[in-house]
Chains A and B, each alone.
Chain A
């Protein structure tokens, strides 16, 4: 692998459009998305359910075809899957027939030697704090642990971009907060670019350098809000709360605010 490959690169969306055919109807899902993500940046994406956030990530990772516009990673035009982009889905999607260790190793290509492979796998298990569970099967892990294995699997190739699709959505509040701290630690250690889709405004602010607010379907970018707060962030600090209110208003400007948002 050359240096250029391992260093994070700029990720650019320009005039990105994606529509799905449902029955005979063509439904626009992503519409005119233009966004530049700096190398190593952490971008949070929030938007109403069903607006097209997952579709946007699936476009980046190369799972969706037939779109118009461009996605570029550095110089490379994205046309299909590639190991320079890693993805963690909402469900951990671990293979139940492989142990934790084998699941993580599944992320690796075939080029490395056996010793190299096991070293890289061990490093990443350590990174997500699961060294002691290398031989366990996914069914023997909690939801949060499974999601951490999934993150390790996405990271073993040292992707330039890591895409996280509501990775903590299914976890309880306490575990989620813990995982958010973990992901920051991993991000700082690995220095990858991260795109995180979430429906949790707090999570978006706590993690992101910027928060992208999407409209309801078709997903267009409504606003982008910079989070200029020092890390580690304090969820109860004045500035954090102010930002939360701002995003909340932005988020619900399309619909009537259903109830007073209390903190």
Chain B
């Protein structure tokens, strides 16, 4: 409880600012300064939100998108870790893939969407693959950099104690890489979440992006806004969950407890 009040004392502006802005916005729409068919007031949007939650439309579509992100991210991140470890540790492999990766990595995930729709259709396959591609690169890069930055001092300790490669990997290299990997995962999920919405906006028959597009066709600006804002809210929730997870898993990492 004391902790809570302490938090409020330090961060009350984070709450007060949006509340003030919402009040101004609300007043402006009540007074008719903003046209309601372009930007309804917060209270009107909130009513629609309640309505959409009640009918289940919002939750179902958000849920579908979140599941796609989860699936795609797990596939992409797992491949990213597996390939990243190999690439970081085996010099020959690193050289072999350097040009290919160099060309493929800068391609924005969105650019793959048309390709994937042609290959896999507009169902789950293309969405999950888009997310997998996006998270693959971010996780791969963080793993490779994390491993290549492992302090040689730690490696020397393992060397003089004659550790085998497996112990070296699991007890020294991977733990040392975890903080970098976690940063990669956070960025990766962010990328994944953006790309799923993009993919659904372009072509889909379900998901939050689809809900937004469909409402746009019906000119339901309030539903569009509820959809857009819920993307942001979901993003912040996911990020906070990851921060909690990171603090739990990396208890030893003093650096993250400060932040």
Binding site for B on A (CB under 8 A): 61-63, 81-83, 85-87, 89, 91, 93, 95-98, 106-107, 109-110, 137-139, 157
Contact = CB atoms under 8 A, between A and B. Distances in A.
Interface residues of B, number: 20
Given A81-B162, A106-B171, A137-B252, A93 B157 contact: yes
A63 B162 CA distance: 11
B154 interface: yes
B175 A97 contact: yes
B69 to A, nearest CB: 29
Interface in B161-199: 161-162, 164, 167, 171-172, 175-176, 178
A86 to B, nearest CB: 8
For the complex of A and B, 8 pairs with smallest distance between CB atoms? A97-B175, A97-B252, A81-B160, A137-B252, A139-B254, A96-B252, A61-B160, A93-B157
Output the residue of B157, B167, B171, B178 with the most chain A CB within 10 A: B157
Nearest to A81: B160
A226 B153 CA distance: 34
Output the residue of A62, A85, A89, A106 with the most chain B CB within 10 A: A106
For the residues of B in contact with A, the DSSP-based class is helix
Interface of B: 153-154, 156-157, 159-162, 164, 167, 171-172, 175-176, 178, 250-254
Nearest to A91: B153
B135 to A, nearest CB: 24
Contacts of A98: 171, 175, 252
B159 A106 contact: no
Nearest to A87: B160
15 contacts: A61-B160, A63-B156, A81-B159, A81-B162, A82-B162, A83-B162, A86-B160, A93-B157, A95-B171, A98-B171, A98-B175, A107-B161, A109-B162, A138-B252, A157-B161
A106 B156 CA distance: 13
Nearest to B175: A97
A85 B178 CA distance: 31
Contacts of A86: 160
B159 A63 contact: yes
Contacts of A138: 252
B154 A83 contact: no
Contact of A97 (B153, B161, B178): B178
Output the residue of B161, B164, B254 with the most chain A CB within 10 A: B161
A236 B252 CA distance: 43
B247 to A, nearest CB: 14
Contact of A95 (B159, B160, B175, B254): B175
A257 B171 CA distance: 49
A249 B60 CA distance: 84
Contacts of B254: 96, 139
Given A93-B157, A96-B254, A106-B171, 20 more contacts: A63-B160, A81-B160, A81-B161, A81-B162, A82-B162, A83-B161, A86-B160, A91-B153, A95-B171, A95-B176, A97-B175, A97-B178, A98-B175, A98-B252, A106-B157, A106-B161, A109-B162, A110-B167, A137-B252, A139-B254
Contacts of A106: 157, 161, 171
Contacts of B252: 96-98, 137-139
Contacts of B175: 95, 97-98
Output the residue of A63, A83, A97, A98 with the most chain B CB within 10 A: A97
Contacts of A85: 160
Contacts of A62: 159-160
Contacts of A61: 160
Contacts of B176: 95, 97
Contact of B154 (A81, A93, A139): A93
Nearest to A99: B252
A5 to B, nearest CB: 14
Contact of B172 (A87, A95, A139): A95
Contacts of A157: 161
